Each structure stands twice: as C-alpha cells, then as structure tokens.
Amino acid sequence: MDMPAHPRPAAPPLRRYDELPGPRQLPVFGNLLQIDSTRLHLQLEQWCEEFGPVFRLRLGSRRAIVVGDHELIAAALRDRPDGFRRSLKFEQVWTEMGMPIGVFGASGETWRRQRRMVMAGFDPAHVKQYFPSLQRVAQRLVSRWQQAAREGTAIDLQADLMRYTVDAIAGLAFGAEVDTLASDDDVIQNHLNRIFPALFKRIFAPLPTWRWWPSTDDRALVRSVAEVNAAVEGFIAQARARLQADASLREHPRNLLEAMLVAADEPGSGIDDQQVAGNVLTMLLAGEDTTANTLAWTIHLLWRHPEALARATDEVRRVCGNGRAPTLEQIAQLDFVEACCHEAMRLKPVAPQNTMQALRETTLGDVHVPEGMVVIAVMRRDATSEQHMPHPAAFDPDRWLGDGGPSHAASAAKRISMPFGAGPRICPGRYLALLEMKMAMAALLGGFDLESVGTADGQEPRERLQLVMAPVGLTMRLRERADRGVAEGATIPA
C-alpha cells in the first residue's frame, strides 16, 4: 500500500531591500552623511555586528545591500562577470577623471578580451623572463635601506615600499627603469598617489563639487592624471619600438607589456592600444598600493610577534644565505614568509570591501537582489570571526601551512579569506604580487636586523581607507647584519 506523500515545506519568502535591517536613513541623503570614507570598512564591520551579516544602506539615490557572510560573498564573486559587474559609479568617476578602462574596471565581452590579453602576459614562462628586473629593484631597495641603517635614520615604511613597488611594476610590467628608490623626487609616484584617494572620495561625495568649484587638489589631480597618462603612452611607444626592432621579442617577450601587445596584435583580439593603456594604468595603480601596504602590515605584524619574526628570518637566511640576490627557485622555497603575507592579508586586507552591481535579478541566500542593486562585500568579517576561524585575532602563519591546528585549517583559511577576490575575476596578478612581497621580505630579513617598527605614539597604526587600506605613520629602524650576508657584496645573476 502506497504511503501518502508529504508535501515539502514551503521555502521561506525572500527578504527584500526594504525588509532588511540597517542604520537609520535620512531623507534625501540616506546614510551618505554618516559615511566617513577613510573608515568605511570599519563602519561596515561594526554595522555587521549590530544588524547582522546582511543589511541595507542608501547612499543618496543609490541603494546598497551589504553582505558580510563569506559564503554569500563567494557566490557573488563567482557570478562575475555575467551576474555582477563593477559599480556604474566607479566606472563613471574613473572615466570622468580621464583614465582609460582596464581589466580591473571593464565588464562583459570587453573584460573577457582584456582578461585573455592580460593572462597571456602572466604566463609562467614569461614570469621567468621578468624576474631579473625584480632582482635589480630589490637590490636598489637594499642599497636605500643600507644608507638609512648607516645614518641611523628612521624609514618611512609605506613610502619606501611604494617606491619599491612602483619600480618593480615598471620593470616587471613595462621594461622601464623608473628608479624612484634612488631619489626622493618621486614624480610619477606623487602623481599616482593622488589618483586612488581622489577616486574613492568622489565615489562617496554627496555632491560632485569638483565639476563646479574645483579645489586646489582637484586641479592638481587633473595635472597628475595627464602626467600618468603621458607616462603610460610612453611605456607603450617604447615597447612597440622594441618589438619592431627585434622580431624575436614576439616569441620571447621580456616584460608584461610586450606580452600584452603581442596578444593584442593577434588577429581578432579586439584589443587596441587604448585598452592596453587601461591595463598599464591598472597595473601601476593596483600593483603599487596593494602590494606596498600588504608588505607594511606584514612587517608590522612580524615585529609584534618576535617568534614568527625569528622563524621568518631563519628561513630567509637558511634558503637565501649565499650572498647573492635570491633566485626564483629560492623565493619559491620561502613557505613561511609567504604564510606570513597571507596571514597579514587576512588580518589587514588592503581591499577590505568589494563593491559590485547586479546585472540581473538574483538572490543571495534568502535576500532578493534586483537588477541594478549595489552589493558591498565586507571581506574581513568572517575571516576574523571565532565562528569560522580558531583564535581569529592571533597572528598565526601556521594556519596557512596546516601545521598549527586541524588538518582543515589551511583550506578553511583559504576559503574564507579572499584578499585577491574569487571566481573568474580573481586578481590575475596575485602570483607576481606574492613574488614581489617575498623578494622584499628576503631583502629585509636577509640583510638587516630590525631595531624597531612602530608609530610615533607607540600605538597600533590607524587603518586608513582610500580605495585600498593602509597603515598610518609606520616607521622602521634597521641595523645591517654583522656578517653582511645579502646586504653587502650581493651580486645579480646574469
């Protein structure tokens, strides 16, 4: 005898924007006047604690759903580029500032074409061609820090690391010897440093006052964008001249830009030099700030945790202690140093939020997301939550190696902490970024002993968000190694 079928319980109704909790909204402005753009990530994290992992915001006329649950964030990131795109506001402000769109801001088919071109440049065989350039930049960093150590002067940590990353990306990506490390007149760096803060400030500005009453900073930004665009055009022209003069470079490009131009010149690529320029600019901007700030946070956290610092130092000196600039093979063996970088990115993500816009009606968990809705992902919430991570406030690089706890610890950390994003739009430069980080740490720990790292008042450095999150006021004092090691007599392999 057949048993009567029991109907499945009806799924709970989806929650809509107006039904979500959130901070109180004001007429016209919504929550816009409550936003401090330099602390926005901290405000969003606090509101997650107050209202739960999904809540609503309104920024003037723009409505946004804020998501702090890592599984929902991962689902949204995996649904790019078809389900979500960069916000239209981001694209509007970016183009209004006069900058070409690269893979970071592109959408749809334009993104797919550019992604193929950019990934061609990151081919592992090409990376080996670029590596000697990174070795030269690292040696310039050593020389700069040697001088500071001998003079007993404090190093502005973020500024020096910005010089390093500008020089590294110019050499790795464009074959250009910019050499800001040898000078304090960092012209291109000063121009680059204006762009991200201005972009982020304008995205959250209640009114576009720069259109009507441009300030001194607004006028300086116009000049900086023009200078950076001119530099980018120069990089492309120089690369085209090299490709024309030496046909063998099309088979063996020596830098990322040459590889991108070769890919762009393929029949049917759909890529022109304006799109190449957008990606050159993206690499200069994203490659400078994100890597430099992660390095600064890593050094700060290691100083605060002497046992981890001693272990990282021992690894560098054991693996790279032959008096030469580290080779690619040696850098690949710095597993604990890499784990320290990952742990710094978990605790101090330089991209603590990720803003997307829905291209179609969809759902995130039990929330209805209409087409056009802005979704703001709060990236650090679950990565520092006791619900998802053992001892979440601790700086514990072993969690990335699987040596410090349950066997699933490393996979859990990688799943929950997403500093490079996730899904099809995961950062294409993540391998090169880690390479730059490990090379800088090898230069530091191989050639020097740290005397101090900290702020003027001895407090924890403040987190300042200007599209990317940076430590404020960190300085470092160094002492050259007694046995010199990498710091003196280092040679660059041919």
* CATH placement of domain 17-487: 1.10.630.10
Predicted pLDDT at 189:
72
Predicted pLDDT at 96:
93
3-state SS record for the chain:
CCCCCCCCCCCCCCECHHHCCCCCCECCCECHHHCCHHHHHHHHHHHHHHHCCEEEEEECCEEEEEECCHHHHHHHHHCCCCCEECCHHHHHHHHHCCCCCCCCCCCHHHHHHHHHHHHHHCCHHHHHHHHHHHHHHHHHHHHHHHHHHHHCCCEEHHHHHHHHHHHHHHHHHHCCCCCHHHCCCCHHHHHHHHHHHHHHHHHCCCCCHHHHCCCHHHHHHHHHHHHHHHHHHHHHHHHHHHHHHCHHHHCCCCCHHHHHHHHHCCCCCCCCHHHHHHHHHHHHHHHHHHHHHHHHHHHHHHHHCHHHHHHHHHHHHHHHCCCCCCCHHHHHCCHHHHHHHHHHHHHCCCCCEEEEEECCCEEECCEEECCCCEEEEECCCHHHCCCCCCCCCCCCHHHHCCCCCCCCHHHHHHHHCCCCCCHHHCCCCHHHHHHHHHHHHHHHHHHEEEEEEECCCCCCCEEEEECEEEEECCEEEEEECCCCHHHCCCCCCC
Cis peptide before 81 (omega within 30 of 0): yes
Predicted pLDDT at 179:
66
Mean pLDDT in runs of 10 for the chain (494 residues)? 59 90 94 92 97 95 95 94 88 89 72 72 72 89 94 94 87 72 68 85 88 94 90 87 90 81 82 80 77 96 97 96 81 96 96 93 96 96 92 94 56 82 81 91 95 94 92 95 54 35
All residues at 6 or more sequence positions from 17 whose CB lies less than 8 Å from its CB, including other chains: 56, 63, 65, 368, 370, 373
Predicted pLDDT at 316:
96
Predicted pLDDT at 102:
73
Domain limits of the chain? 17-487
pTM for the full predicted model: 0.88
CA distances in angstroms from 87 to 81, 220, 354, listed in the order given = 12, 26, 10
Pairing type for strands 155-156 and 62-67 reads unpaired
| Closest to 226 measured CA to CA, from 175, 192, 267, 178 | 192
